[in-house]
Amino acid sequence: MSAEHAGGTRAVLAALGANLGIAAGKFVAFALTGSASMLAEGVHSVVDSGNQGLLLIGGRSARRRATPEHPFGYGRDRYVYGFLVALLLFSAGGLFALVEGIGKIRRPHHLDAPLVAVLVLVL
């Protein structure tokens, strides 16, 4: 593995760890406040973590050596996985936020600790 690939992998792993930590904080804020936006943000961070996982898989797949069936190698696999990342982010994250938002409009409730939600979003 070249230094460039190793650096890219380290960056994706760092982003994965950061997103999982951020997701945990947002889910804690949701548990404390009951805020639908905190829940949607937590799900968004989990979806981002899944995206990083797909990027790691795509990068690994793209580094495979050329074969008789694929004489130019698998370098374009990274674009397929990038496309899957975009689909996952917009479909899963967006659909969840839409469904949760409509549910909260239909059945609104009082936030228990709105300052906690604001602090988590600011951080």
Q: What is the CA radius of gyration of the chain?
A: 19
Name the amino acid, one letter, at 76.
R
Domain extent, residue 8, equals: 3-122
How far is it, in rounded angstroms, from Cα 38 to Cα 61? Answer: 35
How far is it, in rounded angstroms, from Cα 121 to Cα 32? Answer: 14
Which of the four pLDDT bands, split at 50, 70 and 90, describes residue 106? Answer: very high
Total count of domains within the chain: 1
- In order of 33, 42, 66, 95, 98, the CA distances from 69 in angstroms are 55, 42, 8, 38, 43
CA neighbor of 9 nearest in space, from 89, 78, 70: 78
The first and second tokens of residue 15, run together, are 């982003």
pTM: 0.70
Tens digit of each residue's pLDDT (9 = 90 or more) over 33-83: 888 878 888 988 888 898 888 889 988 888 888 888 888 888 888 888 888
